[in-house]
């Protein structure tokens, strides 16, 4: 019996391996330096009969192919899931500069040949990145002095276009370039993108840096943020710099005069985390205005778009609802497109359109569709015509306006059954409702009459109401003047709204907590804390930092323990934003701690004690 079970399990395992799809992939660095050693790896998820390596004559083969095998099997509730991988590894060395193609490798499985993906490798003269930048200490120094210049570590805001039309999309990418071994980031301040309508592109958290050739040098690069921008006005618009503090590992040695100590120090090198602030340059975008010859049906749509329109019924009865749907799809500023104007017959009762759609923000722009559904109800019988729906947009690729028209719609409306003369039993005259009729039944019951010559003017009631209205007017006028005066004090307004704005941010963070989106959760928590400190302490965003905030909080005479709490919270959130999930605190605890700390500061801070 035991042998039979083993036989069945082995058969099911073999069958599951044979039934799975073949996945044969090749991987290697995209950019390497001359003389650098690198790995070329081929991985397949099943056993092969024969492995044929590609031509590697452009590189010096130091080792390979080295083979390895990995297998895992799980049986959960009687369901067997298994995975295997066979890996073939070469260690290569680049010998000369140039761009090289590595053709696909081939394997034979059950007399059928499968190929891996081809690879392109660029070999440059520069040295490999991600190495610690160190400088030997002098005899008088007590450690290593860090010398990382702007060519070793910098950040840029990259845009795909520097000259666009108003409403035309721009892809902006915040990218870090490094030739040192980065370990993290602090105090990231992304641009506000004033003058643009911004849509975020989903960007995965930065875990590792990818190699890239920049002016003949190899850098480790990583994307911190991607957004789609739509300029809302013409002229020159500036994109503010992105600012952040980069953390990297620096080898530190203690200087010694003993020649024998140097031998042992090589085995006991220690590393320290070094901070370097970096800032990107300002980007200027030239936004051209749209041509003045705009069609009458143009409502601000820009991009490459198309439109369709349809009705669900062409033959209805009076008071039956008809749905007219207009669909606009393509690539452009779909999010801010207004509903097209439709000229309905005057006998139709119309309602504001219901707007829906599905829009995806990618590196190609905002792509998807936007639907406008009009609900119309005919109130009289007859034959009606809805003229063609027209939609105009500006195509920046062809630099001209385009107008799309649908077909016209002919609606036939027949009389409804309730308009016919019928006898309905069980209802009184007052309960019968006749739509589209001008005649109603005479009202019965008691009627309150008023003497014809008697007016309210000059009566006591009229005088009291007149005086009360004057008093109410002066009260409202005084309160309104006080409100205007109070709102002119911008510092006071921002101070009073600081707590409200912070709590709105925390509500957004709470939604990301429920979605278990750790990156966006910590981002909103940091925005809430920094925004609160900026508004409450009247610190400009350009000067906002932990040092400035702590200094002003001490001027407020806030307890040292409370100041330490908010600094520790900021440090913890900035670390957790890029740390693995298992190394950070639970989101619920972070949310409650933030709410508690902001509430304590709201009780302590008072604008009258501000001594700056």
pLDDT above 50 (res 554):
yes
By percentage, how much of the chain surpasses pLDDT 90? Answer: 26
* HSE toward the beta carbon, residue 495, CA cutoff 13 A: 17
According to the model, what pLDDT value does residue 488 have? 57
According to the model, what pLDDT value does residue 132 have? 41
Dihedral of alpha carbons 443, 448, 454, 455, sign: negative
Q: 375 falls in which pLDDT band (50, 70, 90)? A: very high
According to the model, what pLDDT value does residue 323 have? 93
In order of 205, 506, 513, 573, 574, the CA distances from 519 in angstroms are: 7, 14, 10, 10, 10
Structure tokens at 237: 């618009």
- Region 47-56: what's the mean pLDDT? 82
Lowest mean pLDDT among 22-36, 165-179, 246-260, 418-432: 418-432
Q: 153-287: which CATH topology? A: Immunoglobulin-like (2.60.40)
At 473-503, the pLDDT tens digits run: 888 988 887 777 665 555 566 666 777 777 8
According to the model, what pLDDT value does residue 135 have? 34
> Is the CATH number of domain 295-414 2.60.40.740?
yes
Taking all residues of the chain, what is their mean pLDDT, rounded to a whole number? 79
- Quick one: which H or E segment has residue 62? strand 59-76
Top-confidence range, 47-61, 329-343, 557-571: 329-343
Q: Return d(Cα 340, Cα 324) in angstroms, integer.
A: 12
At 382-391, the pLDDT tens digits run: 999 999 999 9
Which class does domain 490-609 fall in?
A: mainly alpha
Domain 2-124 matches domain 295-414 at the CATH topology level: yes
> Domain residues of the chain, as ranges?
2-124, 153-287, 295-414, 490-609
Q: Under 8 Å CB-to-CB from 553, ≥6 apart: which residues? A: 537, 563
Estimate to the nearest angstrom the gap between the alpha carbon of 409 and the chain centroid.
40
- Region 89-117: what's the mean pLDDT? 86
Lowest mean pLDDT among 216-225, 349-358, 446-455: 446-455
Q: Under 8 Å CB-to-CB from 409, ≥6 apart: which residues? A: 311, 314, 324, 385, 386
The bridge status of strand 365-378 relative to strand 400-405 is unpaired
- Region 121-127: what's the mean pLDDT? 81
- Region 109-119: what's the mean pLDDT? 84
Top-confidence range, 209-213, 281-285, 450-454, 455-459: 281-285
Structure tokens at 451: 């003497």
At 306-355, the pLDDT tens digits run: 999 999 989 999 988 999 999 999 999 998 898 998 999 988 888 889 99
* 79 vs 103, more confident: 103
At 173-220, the pLDDT tens digits run: 999 998 888 888 888 999 999 999 999 999 888 888 888 888 888 888
Q: Return d(Cα 599, Cα 606) in angstroms, integer.
A: 13
**Nearest partner of 309 among 298, 324, 322, judged by Cα:** 324
Top-confidence range, 31-40, 171-180, 463-472: 171-180
CATH number of 2-124, picked from 3.40.50.2300, 2.60.40.10, 1.20.1560.10, 3.90.800.10: 2.60.40.10
pLDDT above 80 (res 148):
no
According to the model, what pLDDT value does residue 416 have? 78
Lowest mean pLDDT among 117-126, 132-141, 245-254: 132-141
pLDDT above 60 (res 434):
no
According to the model, what pLDDT value does residue 442 have? 64
């Amino acid at each position: 019996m035991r042998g039979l079970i083993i036989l069945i399990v082995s058969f099911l395992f073999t069958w599951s391996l044979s039934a799975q799809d073949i996945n044969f992939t090749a991987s290697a660095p995209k950019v390497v330096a001359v003389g650098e050693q690198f790995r070329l790896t081929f991985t397949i998820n099943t056993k092969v009969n024969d492995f044929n390596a590609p031509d590697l004559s452009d590189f010096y083969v130091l080792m390979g192919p080295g083979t390895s095998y990995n297998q895992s099997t799980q049986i959960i509730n009687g369901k067997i899931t298994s995975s295997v991988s066979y890996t073939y590894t070469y260690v290569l060395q680049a010998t000369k500069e140039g761009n090289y193609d590595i053709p696909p490798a081939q394997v034979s499985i059950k007399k059928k040949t499968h190929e891996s993906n081809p690879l392109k490798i660029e070999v440059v003269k520069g040295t490999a990145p991600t190495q610690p930048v160190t400088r030997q200490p002098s005899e008088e120094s007590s450690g290593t002095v860090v010398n990382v210049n702007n060519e070793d570590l910098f950040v840029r805001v990259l845009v795909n276009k520097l000259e666009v039309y108003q409403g035309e999309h721009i892809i902006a990418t915040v990218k870090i370039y490094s030739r040192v071994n980065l370990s993290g980031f602090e105090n990231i301040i992304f641009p506000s993108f004033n003058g643009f309508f911004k849509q975020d592109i989903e960007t995965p958290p930065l875990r590792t840096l990818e190699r890239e050739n920049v002016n003949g040098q190899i850098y480790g690069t990583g994307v911190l943020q991607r957004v789609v921008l739509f300029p809302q006005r013409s002229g020159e618009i500036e994109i503010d710099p992105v600012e952040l503090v980069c953390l990297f590992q620096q080898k530190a040695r203690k200087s010694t005069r003993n020649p024998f100590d140097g031998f042992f120090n090589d085995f006991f090198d220690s590393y320290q985390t070094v901070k370097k602030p970096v800032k990107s340059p300002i980007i200027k975008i030239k936004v051209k205005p749209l041509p003045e010859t705009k069609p009458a049906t143009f409502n601000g749509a820009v991009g490459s778009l198309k439109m369709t329109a349809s009705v669900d019924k062409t033959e209805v009865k009076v008071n039956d609802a008809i749905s007219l749907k207009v669909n606009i799809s393509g690539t452009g500023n779909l999010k801010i497109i207004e509903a097209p104007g439709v000229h309905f017959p005057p006998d139709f009762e119309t309602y504001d359109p219901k707007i829906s759609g599905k829009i995806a923000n990618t590196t190609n722009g905002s792509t998807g569709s936007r639907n406008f559904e009009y609900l119309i109800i005919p109130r009289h019988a007859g034959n009606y015509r809805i003229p063609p729906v027209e939609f105009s947009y500006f195509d920046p690729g062809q630099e001209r306006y385009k107008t799309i028209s649908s077909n016209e719609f002919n609606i036939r409306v027949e009389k409804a059954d309730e308009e016919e003369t019928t006898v309905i039993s069980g209802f009184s005259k007052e309960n019968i409702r006749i739509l589209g009729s001008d005649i109603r039944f005479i009202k019965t019951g008691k009627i309150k009459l008023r003497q014809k010559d008697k007016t309210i003017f000059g009566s006591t009631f009229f005088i009291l109401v007149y005086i009360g209205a004057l008093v109410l007017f002066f009260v409202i006028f005084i309160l309104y003047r006080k409100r205007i005066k109070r709102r002119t004090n911008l510092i006071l307004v921002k101070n009073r709204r600081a707590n409200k704005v912070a709590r709105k941010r925390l509500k957004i963070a709470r939604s990301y907590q429920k979605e278990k989106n750790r990156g966006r959760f910590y981002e909103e928590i940091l925005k809430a804390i920094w925004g609160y400190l900026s508004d409450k302490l009247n610190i400009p965003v350009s000067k906002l930092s932990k040092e400035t905030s702590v200094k002003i909080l001490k001027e407020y005479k806030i307890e040292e323990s409370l100041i330490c709490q908010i600094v520790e919270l900021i440090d913890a959130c900035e670390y957790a934003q890029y740390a693995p999930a298992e190394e950070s605190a639970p989101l619920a605890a972070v949310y409650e701690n933030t709410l508690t700390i902001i509430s304590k500061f709201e009780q302590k801070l008072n604008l009258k004690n501000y001594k700056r």
